[in-house]
Amino acid sequence: MRGMGPERSIGGMGRSFGLGRHMRSADDRPSGPITAGQLKRMLKYFTPYWPRWIAILVCLAVISALGIIPPLLVRGILDDAIPDENVRLLYMLVGAMVGITIVSGLINVLQTWLSETVGQRIMHDIRTALYRHLQDQSLGFYTTERAGEIVSRVNNDVGAVHQVASRTVVDIARNLFTLIATLIAMFTLHAWLAVLAIAIVPTFYLPTRIVGRIRHRLSMLTQEQYAELVAFMEERLNIGAIMLAKVFGQTDADAGRFSRRSAEVADLNVKQAMAGRWLFMVLSVFSVAGPALIYLYGGHQAIRGALSIGTLIAFVAYLTNLYRPVGQIANVYVDLQGALAVFERIFDYLDREQDVRDADDAIELTEVRGNIRLEKVSFKYPRPPYLAHVSDVDEEAIDDSRRALEDISFEIRAGERVALVGPSGAGKTTVTYLLPRFYDPTRGRILLDGHDLRDITQKSLREHFGVVTQDTFLFHTTVRNNLLYARPDATEHEMYAATESANIHSFIAGLPEGYDTVVGERGFRLSGGEKQRLAIARALLKDPDILILDEATSHLDATSEYLIQEALEVLLEGRTSVIIAHRLSTILNADRIVVMDHGQMLEMGTHQELLENGGLYADLFERQFGDAINGANSADR
């Protein structure tokens, strides 16, 4: 047992919400190479849109076929129309060149619209799947991942998928069609010149491979550093953090930290860009060598009369259609390596297993009386995923840090108020996490009206729970929307009745825009008492059968405390209630009190019974309230 100290209080909660049992590492999770399975998994998001992909490929094939005609028209102008002084043929060939350009442009517009639409839909599918998967994660996931990192993956990483779907894949197909059409035309014109032209193509491969690997590594590092930057901004650029920075004089230090992170991202982007530039430089040297050889060999052939000038000019024109696609395909490969690195990060989140899942035969809970029974419940917080990759760790220390409850058994009868009290770290909050099944017990079971919680669907279970926490969370929207979040179909009358019961209606009505007033980021425009009463009104609007209450009035003024206490009495009436108790009145009004310490239940009974037992509760009560009660008794005398 820990020694008794001044930090031990009845209901005293270290505001860790049980999160202090989780550990973080500054190191990123290692990433492995892209596998065939991941490539197949990536393509799964593309296949639902196969009709559009066929249309895109048809457009690209037509554009590529039309692209080989202009050099042939130029050959006709130089070899036939001009030497023969055939003006009519000249007009026809020039008109055909203009017409082909117009038709190709129109088809290209259609193809761009199709590819952009498909790219946006694929990005939407992945973003939605990722968001829903993240919603299903347990609280443990959000204790080991920073909000900025999560937002970065949903926003920036998924956004990079659009580049793959709408540009990279399309560019690959376009360039392949162009290459095929160009090679057919070149071999038709002059086979030996064609062989000479393509002889230099293999020299594009080696630099592409080298730069591709470098680009893949840099892309991973860039995404990770950018996620760090976004996480830093998410944490520091809000009103609470800004106030803290100003009060403690840390604005310059934070700006320096931001600058260093931003510089790292900038440097990595420069390295990425330069990796591509070096490739282009090498490719440009090779692409110039091709036309030089053609002019050398073709020039000799033209001097000997074995090759017409028109054919030579047309052939050189085809070289652009040969080397440009090869160069772009090489660049596409480099970009694809970076894109696959992004998919790695997305799949990393999608592969995170859910700690809490519905059983295949889970039942829908329709009616609840509110009888709760914990039977030999033990619980350890899940092992953080990153530790799977860390070898140099103290397994015993980690295991001990995760242990939260040990062999807890007690019952809460329907309509009963039960207060959880004990020092910080006793396991009170963990109990409140297990009841609505944010986590499942490691051992033992929790029954609601005789049903094991694991046999009930999570959605139907939580429909019967209401939670009011000490740290009230409000969205950056109107008062009305914050209230209706608990019950979107509530009527105006029901909403007003809830706020009246919570002693907050008059205050809301007096706001500049009444219920349509925006409360600010996390409700910062409201005082602590106003936010708390709004949270109580939100819970009343839901009208839950079971209420979990982290009662928080110790830091409020007397008026706010009185108003909230009145509202709580309305909220608690007739409901099964589990309360992490902070106030003496709440403890005294509880039907029974559960005393916890070190994850174990030490005592349970009424206030008077526990005082008479002379155990931990009596000691805690005397330390926290003894002086005040003795002072009040002296004043009465």
Task: Give pLDDT, residue 374.
Answer: 93
Domain ranges of the chain: 31-350, 372-384+399-636
Q: What pTM was estimated for this model as a whole? A: 0.67
Q: How confident is the model at residue 635 (pLDDT cuts 50, 70, 90)?
A: very low
Pick among 1.10.10.10, 3.40.50.11540, 1.20.1560.10, 2.60.120.260: CATH of 31-350: 1.20.1560.10
- Note the pLDDT tens digit of each residue in 195-224: 887 777 776 656 666 666 677 677 778 877
- Note the pLDDT tens digit of each residue in 416-455: 999 999 888 888 889 999 999 988 999 999 999 999 999 9
SS3 of 89-108: HHHHHHHHHHHHHHHHHHHH
Q: In what order do the strands lie in the sheet with 576-580?
A: 465-468, 546-550, 576-580, 417-421, 592-597, 600-605
Least trusted range by pLDDT, from 63-77, 506-520, 554-568:
554-568
- The answer to whether the beta carbons of residues 623 and 423 sit under 8 Å apart is no
Q: How confident is the model at residue 24 (pLDDT cuts 50, 70, 90)?
A: very low
Task: Give pLDDT, residue 2.
Answer: 38
Higher pLDDT, 188 or 207: 188
Q: Which of 374, 375, 377 minimizes the C-alpha distance to 599? A: 377
Task: Give pLDDT, residue 265.
Answer: 85
Tell me the CA distances in angstroms from 304 to 40, 139, 206, one per residue in order. Answer: 55, 81, 37
| Domain with residues 372-384+399-636, CATH architecture | 3-Layer(aba) Sandwich (3.40)
Q: What percent of the chain has pLDDT over 70?
A: 79
Task: Give pLDDT, residue 382.
Answer: 72
Tell me the CA distances in angstroms from 330 to 210, 289, 322, 585, one per residue in order. Answer: 11, 17, 13, 74
109 has pLDDT over 90 = yes
Between CA 462 and CA 467, with CA 466 as vertex, the angle to 5 degrees is 110
Higher pLDDT, 353 or 175: 175
- Note the pLDDT tens digit of each residue in 338-355: 667 777 778 878 888 777
Least trusted range by pLDDT, from 184-188, 293-297, 430-434, 481-485:
293-297
Average pLDDT taken over every residue of the chain: 78
Q: How confident is the model at residue 34 (pLDDT cuts 50, 70, 90)?
A: low
Q: How confident is the model at residue 4 (pLDDT cuts 50, 70, 90)?
A: very low
Between CA 317 and CA 321, with CA 319 as vertex, the angle to 5 degrees is 85
Task: Give pLDDT, residue 435.
Answer: 92
- The answer to whether the beta carbons of residues 251 and 245 sit under 8 Å apart is yes
Task: Give pLDDT, residue 325.
Answer: 80
Higher pLDDT, 465 or 218: 465
